[in-house]
Amino acid sequence: MFNKKDLKLFKAKGITPGQVEEQLEHFRKGFPFIQLDAPATPGNGIIQLSGQDVERYAKIYEDRLDRIDVIKFVPASGAATRMFKELFAYLEDLEGSKDEGLLLKSYPQLADLLQSADSLPFINQLRKELSSDGMDVDDLVRQNRAGDIVQKILDKPGLGYGNLPKGLIRFHAYPDRSRTSFEEHLVEGAWYAQSAGAEVRLHFTVSPEHMDSFKNHLEEVRKMYEDLFKVRYLVNFSVQQPSTDTVAVDMDNIPFRDESGNIVFRPGGHGALLENLNNLDEDLIFIKNIDNIAPDRMKSIAIRYKKALAGLLIEFQDNIFTALRELESNDVSPDRLQEICEFVGSNLCKMEKKVDQDSAGKVKLMLKEILNRPLRIAGMVKNEGEPGGGPFWVRQPDGRIDLQIVEASQVSPDQTGILKKSTHFNPVDLVCAVKDYRGDTFDLVKFRDPETGFITEKSISGQPVKAQELPGLWNGSMAGWNTLFIEVPVETFTPVKTIYDLVREEHLQK
C-alpha cells in the first residue's frame, strides 16, 4: 500500500508504517463506545468543599510551595477563526447585499455589539486603524456600515484578528492598557503559580506559524509584569509534534492523497498535546485553556480555588505515597490492607474487597497497580448548557468502575439517558501530579486509552474525507490516571468562544 515516497514522508514526521496501519484499522473498525455506569454527582464522585475546606487546602498548597516546582500549562495553539465565524459570514453575505442596513437586521448580535463597541477591549486600536483611513467608529455605526468595522477587525491592514490565535487577541480593557489573553495568563500565573525564588513557570503550546509572534509579545510585556509582581517569568513554548498527526482517508477508508500524490495527514486534535505535557517534569502542573481567563476584578475566586485544588492534590498524593511505601514492605497487615482498600474504594474506584491472610498478596499487587499512577484534581462546574465533557463513573473492561471525564461522542445512543443525568461540566480546570512516590516522572503515554479516539468528517479541496482525532487530552489521554472531581463555582469559568463574549459582564473590568 505504501510506496517509497510514502515511507520517506512517514520518516520525516516520525511516524512508523505500523502506526499508520493502526490508524487505518481504526477507520475500518471504528472506536468502541465507553460504558457509563452513572454520572458523577455531589456525594457520588464529586466533592463539595466548604469555605473552611477551601482555606485549609489553599494553606496546604502555600506552605508547600517552597519545596515543589510548579508550572502552568496552557494549550494556546488554536486559531481564533471560530471566535469570528459570524463576522466572516457577515462579510460573505455583504458581497451580495444591496442594503447593508437590512442585512444587519439578520445579524442581531453583531448589531448589538456595534452599539456597545466602546466596551470592546481593542476599541482604541480599532479607532486608530479606522482613523488612518479617514473613518470613525461612531459614524460607521450610525450609518449601519458594519462591514467597514468588521473588515478592520479581521483583516490587514487593520487588527488582523481573523488570522491570529486567541492568545494574541486583546481580551480585557483596563484604565492604563488592554491585555491579551496571553498577558492575562501571565498575571494569573504570578498570583498562584510562584515557586521558590518568586519564579513563575508557564508553558504554552502554540502553532509553528505563530511561535515568533508569541515570543515577541512575551518580550514586549515581560519586564512590565515582572516589575509589577516582583517575579521572574520562566516561559517556554512548544508545538504539536508532527509524529502526532493522523492520516486522512476517503470515504472508503483509503489514504487520501493530494494532487502531488502525497498522503495527507491532519493534526491529531488536542489529545496530541499529551506529548508536550509528557515533556514536563515539574511536581505540580496547572492546566487551563487560553480562552478561559477573567479580568482582575474576578480573578480572586479563581485563584482561591486553584490553590485549594492544588492543596487537596498534595494532601491526597501524600496519602497515596504513604500507602505505596507501606505496600512495598513485607509486613503490611491485612487490617492495613483493608484500610487502603477502603481509601481507594471511597475515592478512586468502586470496589469492595475483603482482605484476609490468603488474599493479602493479590490485594497488595492490585493496590500498587491502582495507586501508582498520575494523579489529577479536576474542577467541575454546574452544567448550564455548555458543550463538552462531564464527570462520570465508567465501567472498565476488567470490571473496575472509576472516574472519567467523558465527551458525548464517546457514548452510545442507548446510554444517552445516563448522559443527560449529568449535573456538572468540565471547564478544563486541572491540577496534575506526574511523578511517582520515588520521584520519577511517569511516562504519560502509558496511561492513555488508545481506544477512545474518534472519527469526524471533513473536506479537503472540496472532497469529503474522514479524519481521526487522538484520545482527548483530558478524557481518553488521561483515562488511566487517578482522578478526583471537585465542584468549583461557575464564576471560575469565563471562556471566550465568540467575539460577543468579550462584552459580556464577566469580561468587563468595571
Shared domain for 264 and 156, answered yes or no, is no
pLDDT band of 385, cuts 50, 70, 90: low
pTM here is: 0.94
Shared domain for 127 and 263, answered yes or no, is no
Tens-digit pLDDT profile for residues 399-432: 889 999 999 889 999 998 999 899 999 999 999 9
Residue 397: per-residue pLDDT: 83
Q: What is the DSSP string of 93-111?
A: HHTT-S-HHHHHHT-HHHH
% pLDDT > 90, the chain? 84
Shared domain for 358 and 369, answered yes or no, is yes
pLDDT band of 90, cuts 50, 70, 90: very high
Strand boundaries in 358-496, DSSP class E: 375-382, 390-395, 401-406, 424-425, 429-433, 454-460, 463-469, 482-487
Angstrom distance (rounded) from CA 220 to CA 371: 45
Total count of domains within the chain: 2
Last residue of a domain, one of 163, 195, 215: 163
Beta bridge partners of 292: 495
Shared domain for 47 and 155, answered yes or no, is no
Element (H, E) at 179: strand 178-180
Shared domain for 276 and 312, answered yes or no, is yes
Residue 324: HSE in the Cβ half-sphere, 13 Å Cα cutoff: 16
Shared domain for 190 and 302, answered yes or no, is yes
Shared domain for 221 and 102, answered yes or no, is no
pLDDT at 78 over 80: no
Tens-digit pLDDT profile for residues 60-74: 999 999 999 999 999
Domain range for 436: 4-80+168-507
Residue 362: per-residue pLDDT: 84
CATH code: domain of residue 196: 3.90.550.10
Shared domain for 122 and 143, answered yes or no, is yes
- Grid cell locating 13: 514526521
Shared domain for 241 and 291, answered yes or no, is yes
Q: Helix or strand or coil: residue 363? A: helix
Shared domain for 76 and 90, answered yes or no, is no
Shared domain for 402 and 495, answered yes or no, is yes
Last residue of a domain, one of 114, 141, 163: 163
Tens-digit pLDDT profile for residues 249-296: 999 999 999 999 999 999 898 899 999 999 999 999 999 999 999 999
Q: Per-residue pLDDT averaged across 175-200, rounded?
A: 94
Q: Check if the beta carbon of residue 180 is closer than 8 Å to that of residue 225.
A: no
Shared domain for 475 and 389, answered yes or no, is yes
Sorted by sequence, the CB contacts under 8 Å of residue 279 that are 6+ apart come out as 238
